[in-house]
A and B are shown apart, each in its own frame.
Chain A
Amino acid sequence: QKEVEQDPGPLSVPEGAIVSLNCTYSNSAFQYFMWYRQYSRKGPELLMYTYSSGNKEDGRFTAQVDKSSKYISLFIRDSQPSDSATYLCAIGNQGGKLIFGQGTELSVKP
């Protein structure tokens, strides 16, 4: 079993749709939860960072962590064509390294 599981998609939605991206993880020792966005032929860039269970909102993006279920989500409201990218969940502990999900490829059609 992989430490982090993420549906690779691809996911195609119309502009303006609400997008839901999800990951599950196996080790309850993980403490830090992040979402990275990766455009084609670029390096991943941090989108959201959460530490505790609950929701964190930043503009059109909401990150949700449920530690009891070992489940993390990213919601994108009013999706735009510029949101088309691969979204990677990343999970870490005090050791420093991040473990990434497979990544979900998202395409937002005008």
Chain B
Amino acid sequence: DSGVTQTPKHLITATGQRVTLRCSPRSGDLSVYWYQQSLDQGLQFLIQYYNGEERAKGNILERFSAQQFPDLHSELNLSSLELGDSALYFCASSVDGSGANVLTFGAGSRLTVL
């Protein structure tokens, strides 16, 4: 157990729907990162939060949004889902938002869009 908790583990939904993925960072970590992993694209950085504030943005679609709450847990919202959104979504956390810190990953949420 890495200490980073992601729910749900698996999610099956239909095109056009909206889902929310949840992440609780490791105790003491202030920064949360979201990554998308698909077979053809590998592990792609979506967005980073540090202590409630957005720190960096990657290849995140406009249909996707995220936030980090005062208790430091984070949610990734995916809307108007398309078949191509089917992927593993990973949350990772680090002590702070600097590059010197190691990212600890959760077990991921597997999203299937039918």
State the A residues within 8 Å of B (CB).
Answer: 31-32, 34, 36, 42-46, 49, 51, 88, 90, 92-103
Partner pick for A44 among B31, B43, B97, CB 8 A cutoff: B43
Cβ–Cβ contact B107 & A103, under 8 A: no
Cβ–Cβ contact B2 & A100, under 8 A: no
Cβ–Cβ contact A49 & B102, under 8 A: yes
30 A-B interface contacts by CB (under 8 A): A31-B99, A32-B100, A36-B105, A42-B108, A43-B4, A43-B106, A43-B108, A44-B90, A44-B105, A45-B2, A46-B102, A49-B102, A88-B42, A88-B43, A94-B98, A95-B56, A96-B31, A96-B33, A96-B48, A96-B94, A96-B98, A97-B33, A97-B45, A97-B58, A98-B33, A98-B99, A100-B43, A100-B44, A102-B42, A103-B42
Q: How far is the CA of A55 from the CA of B91 in the complex (A)?
A: 30
State the B residues within 8 Å of A (CB).
Answer: 2, 4, 31, 33, 35, 42-45, 48, 50, 55-56, 58, 90, 92, 94, 96-108
Partner pick for A93 among B44, B50, B99, B108, CB 8 A cutoff: B99
Q: Cβ of A36: which chain B residues have Cβ within 8 Å of it?
A: 105
Q: How far is the CA of A87 from the CA of B94 in the complex (A)?
A: 20
Cβ of B66 to closest chain A Cβ, rounded Å: 14
Q: Cβ of A31: which chain B residues have Cβ within 8 Å of it?
A: 99
Interface centre among A92, A93, A94, A96 (most CB of B within 10 A): A96
Q: Cβ of A96: which chain B residues have Cβ within 8 Å of it?
A: 31, 33, 48, 50, 55-56, 94, 96-99, 101
Considering only CB atoms, which chain B residue lies closest to A43 in the complex?
B105
Q: Cβ of A92: which chain B residues have Cβ within 8 Å of it?
A: 99
Interface centre among B42, B44, B94, B107 (most CB of A within 10 A): B42
Considering only CB atoms, which chain A residue lies closest to B57 in the complex?
A97
A103 with B99: in contact, given A97-B48, A97-B58 (CB under 8 Å)? Answer: no
Q: How far is the CA of A88 from the CA of B105 in the complex (A)?
A: 13
Cβ–Cβ contact B56 & A97, under 8 A: yes
Cβ of B38 to closest chain A Cβ, rounded Å: 11
